[in-house]
Chains A and B, each alone.
Chain A
Amino acid sequence: MDKKIRVLVAKPGLDGHDRGAKVVAAALRDAGMEVIYTGLHQSPEAIVEAAIQEDVDVIGLSILSGAHMTIFPKVLELLKKKRAQRIIVVGGGIIPADDMKKLEKKGVKKLFGPGTPTTEIIKWLKENVKTGKKRVKVQKKRRRK
């Protein structure tokens, strides 16, 4: 069975605007991915813990509340602390362009602005999330030594 791309879609921050997160989650499912949706108001700690337990390839965060400069760095920091940096962090929402640049510099792999077609997100994920497949194979090889 082929390795499916597993994505954690989370909605941190206090706002309840989950339209985007849900539309993206449904689109990723329809593109053959396994999407774990964690719901509203998730703390960075809970998101990172869920990502580790679910062994996802990607965390996708949707933030429309303006707290992006707090939440993204916190998630990255926790992933590092838990040695799970292999999990890619991407995101979307209401994020001004210069904040996007700053966040991408800090280690957020990709930010999708408002109006991004879901097809573009899918394409990006399929091109950039090959690590999952490789990772599992490496593990297997090592075991056979």
Chain B
Amino acid sequence: MKSLNKFLKDILKGSKPAIARAITIVENDSDYTLLKKLFRSSGKAYYVGITGPPGAGKSTLVNAIAKLLLKKKKRIGIIAVDPTSPFSGGALLGDRVRMTDLALNKNVFIRSMASRGSLGGLAQKTKDVALVLDAAGMDYILIETIGVGQVELDIAQVCDTTAVVGAVPGWSYPIIKTIATTGDGVDQVVVRIEEHRRYLTRSGKLESARKERLFSRINELIEERIRADLHKRLTTQPGLKKIIDDIYNRRRNPFDVAEKILRNSGFVF
């Protein structure tokens, strides 16, 4: 127990190796022991999503925003999510190339993440990884992800403010022209993020949105657990092959079979 306490203390203190280790654990384990302990210390960071199509300059913008926030003496956690190859399960994560200016700053922590099993650009585990950074005392968490369509919405559900990089026809949100390579306009982005934050806080929308997110989180955790459980139950169902054969030959139907498994599971009464 002593070692876990020391580990927790290191994370909360912002020790980079401890944070890094914690993220690996969170990414690989389905066990929530660590997150349960960290949750209490989270909730202080402001989450900013940066999304857009490949090659739109997201990493460059993240780099520029982080540099400005550093000047304001903020601590920044960056999560750069890139897709996992559906063929090999591997991933090539290259976003750090754009962030070399930040790499050695003691107030910045950068982590590259592969989307792994989840659909779209945003890893399921991103929220948990962000929670680690939040608990570790980051003031801002910048989440960068490739996004077109659906994924933009995904990230918006995780973050307090989301910036979409690239042309977005038909959107009525503020559009700021930036040239991230030269830094032009980036200060405007930061100003707008802070304005948005103030607006959300004052209007009470930050609290309500976060509460709604917590509700979804509980919902998700339950669903995730049930899904995994039911999947296991189905795949380990005795005589499954025979059942499928029966259904195929129209001796049984999938509807009754599903209902029976659900009833036996205890999740449905």
Which residues on A are within 8 Å of B, measured CB to CB? 1-4, 25-26, 28-39, 42, 45-46, 49-50, 52-55, 82-84, 136, 139-140, 142-145
Contact = CB atoms under 8 A, between A and B. Distances in A.
Given A38-B97, A84-B17, A54 B112 contact: yes
Contacts of A39: 94, 96-97, 100
Interface stretch (B26-34, B162-170, B193-201, B231-239): B26-34
A144 B33 CA distance: 8
B25 interface: yes
Contact of B111 (A26, A45, A53): A53
Does more than half of chain A's interface fall in helix, strand or loop, or is it mixed?
mixed
Contacts of A55: 20-21, 23-24
B96 A36 contact: yes
Contact of B92 (A29, A50, A53, A139): A29
A54 B93 CA distance: 11
A136 B100 CA distance: 28
A1 B88 contact: no
A30 B88 contact: yes
B17 A30 contact: no
Interface centre among B30, B92, B100, B111 (most CB of A within 10 A): B92
B93 A36 contact: yes
Contact of B1 (A82, A136, A145): A145
Contact of A31 (B25, B88, B93, B97): B88
A143 B4 contact: yes
Contacts of B114: 4, 34
Nearest to A2: B28
